[in-house]
Amino acid sequence: MADERAPVLVLGVGNELFRDEGLGVVAARCVAQLDLAGVEVADGGTLGLSLLPEIADREAVLILDAVVKHDGRPGEVVVLADGSVPTGWTHVVSAHQIGVPDALAAAALAGRAPRRVAVVGMVPASLDTGFGLTPETAAHIDELVRRTLGVLSGWGIEACGA
């Protein structure tokens, strides 16, 4: 069954009920509209460890998420390139820091980890309760998508007309 799936997964994670915490899911929807060959785009929401079946046996996984940096400013796009995503994400902190890295670790323990893993995220302006991105964050979603396409390009995936 894993052979039928696209080799690359772009996984948007986040909770859209906490304003900018949902920016990964919003960005994933934008990437999905590009219909990239060899790429599956999924809304991982807040599923955390339950994402193991989606992650396992992929060639590559690119995670889109809200990230908090100690010296970051709202709207800043953060890229942890292929090979630099540490276990526990010591340089960035996300609400999904527990679940997604755990799913990646479980895939590795099972011998089914993706060969490549990267994160493209953005520093949120607000994590308050409420639906919809803040204007500050919404204004930078195109940049997050552009940087996502840059990572995918480095993996040999090109977006026609994007």
User: Tens-digit pLDDT profile for the chain (162 aa)?
Assistant: 445 899 999 999 999 999 999 999 999 999 999 999 999 999 988 777 778 889 999 999 999 999 988 888 999 999 998 777 755 444 344 444 457 777 888 888 889 899 999 999 999 999 999 999 999 999 999 999 999 999 999 999 987 755
The CA distance from 102 to 27, in Å, is: 23
143 forms beta bridges with none
Q: State pTM to two decimals.
A: 0.87
Helix locations, 5-140, DSSP H? 23-32, 52-55, 99-109, 135-138
Note whether 122 and 23 are within 8 A (CB): yes
| Residue 67: CB atoms within 10 Å | 27
Helix (H, G, I), strand (E, B) or coil at 142: helix
pLDDT the model gives residue 104: 84
pLDDT of residue 46: 76
Q: Looking at residue 97, what is its pLDDT?
A: 47
pLDDT at res. 9:
97
Angle (CA) 98 146 115, round 5°: 50
